Each structure stands twice: as C-alpha cells, then as structure tokens.
Amino acid sequence: MRSEESLYNVSLFDGRQREATEPLRDYFSEAALYKYRTRVELKWLKFLFTETDFRRHVENLTKKEIAFSADDFKKLGEVEAEFSPIDAYIYEKIGKNGGKPTDHDVKALELAIVDLLRENGLARLAPYVHFGLTSEDVSNVAYNLMLRDGVENVWLPQAERLVRQLADLSKKYAKTALLGRTHGLPASPTTAGKQYSVILNDLADHIESIRKIRLSSKFGGPVGNHNAFKLILPEFDIRVYSKKFVNSFDLNYIEAANQTTLHSGVIDLFNCIEQFNLTLYNLANQIRDSVLLDRLSIKNDAVGSSVMAHKPPNPWRPEAVENLVMRYVNQLAAAKLALKGQMLENSIGYHSAERSYGELVALSLICISHLSKQLSVVSINEENCRKELSEHYEIFSEAMNMIMRLYGREDAYFDALKRTQGKRLTREGYFEIVRQLGLPSEAEKILAVDISDFIGDANAIALNAARKAERAEE
C-alpha cells in the first residue's frame, strides 16, 4: 500500500496512524490469522505421524500401512511456505470448483490445505488434515501465537525504546532541581530526572510482568473431551499428546476446557498492557503540565497554531495519548466480558473480541509512538526552573519545623505555619525568618543551604531507576 492510500482508510489504525501500526499487519490481519492457523494445522499433521504412535494405532485399526517419510515431512514444510491466504479466502467467500462459499474460515482453510497437499504429491495425507479437531482448537492456539509474536516482535521493542529514552532523561536531569508541587501547590523541591524516574520505574516493572506471562491453550475437540478420538482409537492417549502438542508452542495446556477457551492468560496480558498505558497517561500529563509551567520546551519547527503565529509547537501528542488510553480501557473492558463469557459448550460472542487483539495492541503502540516522538524533541528550561525555585523559599518550612523540634520547640509546626503559610518568600525574606527563630548557629547554617541543593535523594533515586531499567534489558 502506498503511503497516500492511507488517506482513504476509515480506521485510525490503518489510516492516520498507519506509520506506527503497519508492523502489526503481519500478526493481526486476517491474512496473518490464516497463516497462523495453517501453521497449527500442518504442525498437527506432522505431529501425528512423527511425534506420536498415532500411525501404529491407525494401522492396527484399518489393517493398512500409512506411508510417511522424511521427504514427506520436508514437503509439508514446503506446503506451509506455499500457502496463500487468498486460497482459503476463495473457498470462504467465493467458492471453488463449482462449490458454494463455505462461509466458515477454518473449513475453507482445511480445503485449501488439502489442495496444496494434492499438488505436492501428498494426497494420501489429505484425510488427516484437521483430524480430530474443532475449529476452536486451531484458532485458540493461532490467536495466542499471533498475540505473543505481535507483542514480542513489535510492541515490546517500542516499549523498551521509550523506557531507554526515559532512562536517558532521568540521568541527564538527575540533578536539575525544580519546585515540587503537591495538589498543584508549591512543595519541597525535586528534580526533573526524579520526575522521569517515577514513570520509568513503573513502566519497567510492567514490562517485566508482561515478559513473565505464558499464554494457555486448549486442544480437546468440540466439547473438550476428545470424544471421537477416545471412541475410535481408545488405546491412543490423546490427552497426553494434546498436551505435548500445545506445549511444543511454549504454551500452557488447559485440559479442563470445552470449545470455549477462558482466555485468562490473554486477559492477564492485556491487563498488564493496560497498566503500562495508564502509566503512559501519567507521563502525558507530566509533559503537558511541565509545558504549562514553562519548565519544558518542545524543540522543533512545527506550526503551533493555524492562526496564532506566536505559539510554539504545542503538546498535542500527550493530549492525544490521554484519549487513546481511555479508549483502550473502555475497549478492553468490553473485550474481557466477551472473552470470559460462556454459553453452554460454545458460543461465538468472543470471536469479535479475539479479532480486536490487534486494535488493543495498536492503541498502546500509538501511545508509545506519540510519547517517544515527543520526548525526542523536549528539553528542560533549566533557567525557568531556577527562577521558579528562587521565588518559593517558604518551602523550607518542612526543614524549619523539623530542626525546631530537635531543639525542643513543642510549637515548632505551628510556629513555622504562622511564619510561612500562604506566603511567597524570597531568599532574603526566608533568611530573616531563620534569624528570628533564635536557633543555635549550627542550626542556622543547616537551614542556609541553597534552595537548588534542597533535593534530598532525588539525584540518587533518578540514577538508580535508570540503572535498574538498563539492567532489565541486558
């Protein structure tokens, strides 16, 4: 697709934000779903003839030998490589060889695979395609693989890139003092690097949680009991081999299942991504508020307003992120209800939710893209931060009342409150108050520290968070 063609797309994901989301097409498109299902179908076919004693049990029953060689195994790999989603699409939506459309995607896929087997001299294996399976066996494994690969290969690298940017900013501005604000009001100083480190630490923890999640799949036939297998091949331990097959994809096996998978692992994964997104929401707020307080500048040549020429580039990207995170939260809430819902042994209410996996990942990916681009063009207005601090020496009230307590002043807090509450003190005004307290010279000396040095452990905290995030990537 040419880049200008995205102008005609209806969806945000394939339209305006196509640049950020295009890599997801290889994992969450209908074509990708066909390919992942093909991978599952053909691996099951190989598995039956090479990884189990299935052939022996079938030969004992039918009194016919099943030929299968290393060359056949190789040809099955070629069949997978040759598969085109168009082949299955034709069976599903158009019909082939004079037949009607199946209007069933997995049955269409089965017929397309059988065609390829015949074309590659493997017609004798055609009866074993989709053998003993229901469509949900194939689909739930395929969806888990799509989701895992899409997150690992597209989402995680971008999330980690954003974490690296925050780690760099945490280190760069670890000592850059600025006025802290609690409830929006002046408070004890912090540093710009410490502010970034709070977000950084949270994001790094969420990524670690995401890495630990292992998705789970079922593989038990229409109602989850392997009914037909047990009836026809009673000596073949299908439960053992189903588990081995699912585990071969590095997925957990759910034995107690029906045709509806309960999607608990999928929901865990999206919940972790939601937590990551909510932290992005906080980062977006932080950037916007820093611009509002004139602590942060956006350094690029973009137009700031269509009519007000004086305006510098505005923080529209963080503002967009706030809305996108809300969309993710609402869409995930609806998806979770569908994914956990169940009607008897099966209903297809959750299919639309499974189809939305790509949208959920895309929403988060767009947020990451926006904030990554924003962070690449921001800089701290250090002079403005110093000026703001210099106008608020009243923030020493915390240290003032603490040291007064140490010298036995029982009314220390209320004394400090009377002298500082609601006031904006300059350096000179603050030092005059310190002199009026009548404290020993060593106490006055402690309180005489420069306001830019009144940052506690902010510097160390910022650097430690950056080091922690960097170690996590090693």
Question: Residue 431's pLDDT is what?
Answer: 94
Measure the CA–CA gap between 245 and 133, rounded to whole angstroms.
Answer: 13
Q: Is the pLDDT of residue 105 over 80?
A: yes
Q: Give the CATH number of domain 25-131.
A: 1.10.275.10
- 213-231 average pLDDT score: 91
User: Residue 396, CB half-sphere, CA atoms under 13 Å: how many?
Assistant: 30
Question: Residue 458's pLDDT is what?
Answer: 96
Per-domain boundaries in the chain = 25-131, 137-381, 387-453
pLDDT confidence band for 449 (50 / 70 / 90): very high
- The fold of the 137-381 domain, in CATH, is Fumarase C; Chain A, domain 2 (1.20.200)
Residues 6 or more apart in contact with residue 125 via CB below 8 angstroms: 45, 49, 68, 72, 117
Q: What does DSSP say about strands 378-380 and 296-298: parallel, antiparallel, or unpaired?
A: antiparallel
CA 244 to chain centroid: 29
- 224-236 average pLDDT score: 92
CA 202 to chain centroid: 13
- 88-109 average pLDDT score: 92
Q: How far apart, in Å, are the Cα atoms of 468 and each of 75, 272, 375, 473?
A: 48, 19, 20, 9
Q: What is the pLDDT of residues 29-88, one digit of tens each?
A: 999 999 999 999 999 999 999 988 899 999 999 999 988 999 999 999 999 999 999 999
Q: Give the CATH number of domain 387-453.
A: 1.10.40.30
Q: What is the pTM of this model?
A: 0.92
- 229-245 average pLDDT score: 93
Following DSSP, what letter does each residue of 361-408 receive, concatenated? HHHHHHHHHHHHHHHTTEEE-HHHHHHHHHT-GGGGHHHHHHHHHHTT
